[in-house]
Amino acid sequence: MRAAFSTLGVPGLPVAEVVRLAVACGYQGVELRAHPEEPVHPGLGVRERAAVRGRFAAAGVAVLAVAGYARVAAECAEGAAEAALAHEVAELVHLAADLGARYVRVFPGGGGRPVERAEADAVRRLSAVAPLAAERGVRVLLETHDSHRTGAAVARILAAVDHPHVGAVWDVLHGWLGGEAPAATRAALAHHLGYVQVKDVASARDLTPLPLGAGVLPLAEVAAALGPLDGGWLCWEYEKRWYPGAAELPGLLAEGRACLERLIDGAAEGGGGGRGREGGG
């Protein structure tokens, strides 16, 4: 199992500095937030994409994933809005392939829609992009998030899609907020799992990001549920972008890497790594 961090924790940071931090702190990969306010996004030209890919490759750092914001279970009016969503997801797939990333992250975004309708739309949209993802060698991953926080909820969609190039990102915060035990999330996602986003917070009422291992999320249970997960990734997603008062990520990366290593060791031993405390806050 390998360690990555998300650029969500260092909004707007130039690619060269992201690479430098990854190398200096011992991270093997980076999850790139793909948003127009970031240096890497679907609007990049061919030369810029090649330059980004080359910089990461030269440093021996993997581009783990392109973290997009497409919401595949959202309600769209017929016509232009539906076509725009399909185009957004397809462009994320092309960007990931051009950067050499294995994965594209998308959200459910079903909101308060009837579950059956939201999931039917998600299945249809993910099924539609699956052939392109297969052609480009990318896997589109639906995150446990918002309307579908738990592994069980995401797994319903993925079972209906039933395609090897469509899977899941397990965001441990949202599964925990949804009341699902880590072992249950892991079992529900089973072969669908692409990688795991870990993080820490003070409580369910205070989601300000904390240094990894300093909060209440059951990280040791997550490690135990994962097991060795050969070839898998743990990605630290520190959500500084939404919490300006949180500590700056660069100064936390080295200790965060040490915590990830303990989690990885704990997973290899069948659990027991990490310092996260159980609790619902």
Q: Is residue 152 part of a domain?
A: yes
Output b/e per residue, 71-91; b: 16+ Cβ within 10 A: bbbbbbeeeeeeeebbebbbb
Domain count, the chain: 1
Q: CB of 262 within 8 A of CB of 31?
A: no
Q: Is residue 206 part of a domain?
A: yes
pLDDT in tens, 119-158: 999 999 999 999 999 999 999 999 999 999 999 999 999 9
Distance separating alpha carbons of residues 234 and 188, to the nearest angstrom: 18
pLDDT at 130: 98
Q: Is residue 130 part of a domain?
A: yes
Q: Is residue 273 part of a domain?
A: no
pLDDT in tens, 107-118: 999 999 999 999
Distance separating alpha carbons of residues 201 and 246, to the nearest angstrom: 11
Going by C-alpha positions, the residue among 181, 119, 116, 108 that lies closest to residue 148 is 108
pLDDT in tens, 180-222: 999 999 999 999 999 999 999 999 999 999 999 999 999 999 9
Q: Which two tokens stand for residue 147?
A: 């309307």
With a pLDDT cut of 90, the percent of the chain lying above it is 91
- Helix ranges (H only) for 208-252 are 219-226
Note down the domain range covering 187.
2-268
| Three-class SS state of 119 | helix
Q: pTM for the complete prediction?
A: 0.95
pLDDT at 79: 82
Residue 262's CATH number = 3.20.20.150
Q: Is residue 237 part of a domain?
A: yes
Residue ranges with strand state E in the chain: 2-6, 29-33, 62-71, 103-107, 139-143, 166-171, 193-198, 233-236
pLDDT at 266: 87
Distance separating alpha carbons of residues 232 and 168, to the nearest angstrom: 13
| Three-class SS state of 34 | coil
Q: Is residue 137 part of a domain?
A: yes
Q: Is residue 120 part of a domain?
A: yes
pLDDT at 77: 75
Q: Which two tokens stand for residue 130?
A: 């699956």
Q: Is residue 166 part of a domain?
A: yes
Distance separating alpha carbons of residues 265 and 269, to the nearest angstrom: 6
Distance separating alpha carbons of residues 158 and 168, to the nearest angstrom: 8
pLDDT in tens, 225-278: 998 766 799 999 999 999 999 999 999 999 999 999 999 998 888 644 433 332
Distance separating alpha carbons of residues 32 and 13, to the nearest angstrom: 11
Q: Which two tokens stand for residue 114?
A: 């009837």
